[in-house]
Structure 1
Amino acid sequence: MASFLLQVPSTLRNPSVFASSSSSSNGSFPTSGNQTSQSGKGGPLVIELPLNQIRRPLMRTRTNDPHKVQELMDSIAQIGLQVPIDVLEVDGAYYGFSGCHRFEAHQRLGLPTIRCKIRRGTKETLRHHLR
């Protein structure tokens, strides 16, 4: 059985960590407790992160559709977030480049955390995304 080692900044307390598989029937993941789930097939690391730990470098260049944000707010309030946002981790800092509408919906709902699919990158990867 595989095991995961997650290194997070000391400002994060008790994050929930999950391994996901593309064979999930509905795309949802557990959202409570500090459970760790492992998939036999492996997959991306999915973690619940505080919204204030995610930097949104593209927010000043993109505008979200208010109608789409409202629809997501209704859905998230009713059934929870079904698809995690993608986050790039560079030197312990988290950068969100996708999931802008889902991120804003969480903010407006006053939710403290959001489920994220974490991918590691370098400063060069980050510079490439900011171009």
Structure 2
Amino acid sequence: MSSSHTNNACSSSQSQSIHSASIDEIHNIPMKDINRPLPSVLDENKVQSLIETIQTMESDRIPPIDVLWYEAPNSGNNYFFAMGGCHRWEAHKRLNSDTIRAKLVRTTLNDLKIYFGSSLPNLK
């Protein structure tokens, strides 16, 4: 996936993606466990608006981000990658949130190689 495609996904106002539309379960994933390997272009006004919304509303009213979830077969290690939801991610980051609400989308190592190419970290 090219970074321009990712940037377009980040600026989308949709609350659901085609990847997670059929997923109902929402998890609170530790921010420190999620990798964001591709750069994002942020609209500062949108980030500030989300910060205000998060501070003044119940957090469950903010749509969850989609997180690709890969479980390494031999080690059982879990890897989490977020490529969309960049404004929500940044707002939570600036608020020093420990977790972010996410829908987990299972993925394969082959899919991760297609998305990230040589940028894919070594997964053990």
Q: TM-score, normalization: structure 1? A: 0.62
2:96 alignment partner in structure 1: 110
Q: Which residue of 1 aligns with 2:11?
A: none
Matched, 1:65 2:43: yes
Identical columns (%)? 36
2: distance between equivalents of 1:58 and 1:69?
Answer: 18
Structure 1 CA distance, aligned partners of 2:82 and 2:53?
21
- Return the letter of the residue paired with 1:89: W
| In structure 1, C-alpha distance between the alignment counterparts of 2:70 and 2:87, rounded to whole Å | 23
Q: Which residue of 2 aligns with 1:75?
A: 53
- Select which of 97, 115, 119 maps to 1:129: 115
Q: What secondary structure does 2:26 align onto? A: strand
Structure with a larger share of its residues in helix: 2
Which structure exhibits the higher relative contact order, with contacts defined as CA atoms closer than 8 Å and separated by 6 or more residues?
Answer: 2
Amino acid at match of 1:71: S
Give ranges in structure 2 of 5+ residues lacking alignment: 1-14, 16-21, 72-77, 118-124
Map 1:1-131 → 2, pairs under 5 A: 43-59=23-39, 62-79=40-57, 80=59, 81-91=61-71, 92-130=78-116
Tell me the alpha carbon deviations over residues 10-39 of structure 1, each in whole angstroms, 9 at most, x when there is no partner.
xxxxxxxxxxxxxxxxx8xxxxxxxxxxxx
Question: SS of 1:89's equivalent?
Answer: strand
Unaligned runs of 5+ in 1: 1-26, 28-41
TM-score (norm 2): 0.65
Alignment RMSD: 1.8
Q: 1:73-124: per-residue Cα shift (whole Å, max 9, x none)?
A: 0011111252000000012100001101100000101111000000110111
- Work out the CA distance in 2 between the residues paired with 1:107 and 1:115: 13
